[in-house]
Structure 1
Amino acid sequence: MPSSPYLQEITPENLETAIGLRVRPDQEHLVDPVMKSLAEAFVHPGVAWPRLICDDGEAVGFLMAFFDIDWTGERTDFRSGLWRLNIADGRQGRGYGRFAVRSVADEIRRRGGTRLTTTWHPGPDGPTGFYRALGFRPTGETSGSQTVGVLELG
């Protein structure tokens, strides 16, 4: 019987596993390492939602989501979305990224949200095609050098 992916909270027992996750070497410039994500989660308690992506008892990726953050700092634009997505080297192309996005979308819906925001590194080596295939559309905004995209969940 095939297994199904699931999310797991980061705990003292799986911290080293999370830290040890690595994307392909040619993708390291596209996404920050898990260690940085966990440091950001530590300094943004209640905002960051870090999770391991597991399948058949093995960690295959990492995601970090955010919920209802004040995107512009002007208290007029609150957003929820995918902050970070790291699929382990050798594990891409198996649906784990799609599962991660679907899981974050489900959590946003559960919290009453209707839109999922994310950012990605543009360019030929970036994940633009992945996000566009899932239905994300660029908003025309950037966050640093990254493209801001939105997926309507309605």
Structure 2
Amino acid sequence: MRLERVTPRNYEAALKLSVRDDQQDLVASVEHSLAEAYAYGDHAWPRLVYDDDRLVGFLMAFVDLPWRDPDDTDRRSGLWRLNIAGGEQGKGYGTFAVEAACAELRSRGTTACYVTYVPRDGGPEPFYRGLGFVRTGEVADGETVAVRTL
């Protein structure tokens, strides 16, 4: 498994990535995420997840992003998006992607990795808890905020 940058050669394949139908309300599309990566270019770290030559997912981390508004002094880093293709879930790609993002953040001097997720049955909370994320007690735009110490 490996992460690769989004390039002119692979972005069209990235745009075709989709989670399962029952997860569509849990994560924004890759298309939406890439638009955010463009708008937040100084803070976004988008990557594609490959298994050999097969594209299986999309990950976007955020680095030193103002938490609530552009002038906020509370800056955080963490996982912004994780989209593993519907037919590829449960094979370790999500865990690999999260660990790779945490390693990248750690290499930049970050000591905590934040994530937000939709709190509902069938949501990703058990996945993130299994990777060491704990709830902070905060809610951001209706999503649960969790953090993992790096």
Q: TM-score, normalised by structure 2?
A: 0.96
Partner of 1:128: 125
Aligned pairs, how many?
149
Task: State the Cα distance separating 1:125 from its structure 2 match.
Answer: 1.7
Any idea what the Cα deviations from partners look like across 1:29-74, whole Å, max 9, x if unmatched?
1111100000111111111111100011111000001101121345
Please tell me the residue identity of whatever aligns with 2:53: G
| Aligned pair partner of 1:65 in 61, 80, 83 | 61
| Aligned pair partner of 1:105 in 102, 106, 116 | 102
Structure 1 unaligned runs (5+)?
A: none
Please tell me the residue identity of whatever aligns with 1:56: D
Partner of 1:145: 142
Please tell me the residue identity of whatever aligns with 2:18: R
Q: Is 2:16 aligned against 1:20? A: yes
Partner of 1:31: 27
Q: What is the percent sequence identity of the aligned residues?
A: 52
Structure 2 unaligned runs (5+)?
A: none
SS at match of 2:88: coil
Please tell me the residue identity of whatever aligns with 1:41: A
Please tell me the residue identity of whatever aligns with 1:103: A
Q: TM-score, normalised by structure 1?
A: 0.93
Taking the aligned partners of 1:37 and 1:81, their CA distance within structure 2 comes to 14
Taking the aligned partners of 1:29 and 1:44, their CA distance within structure 2 comes to 23
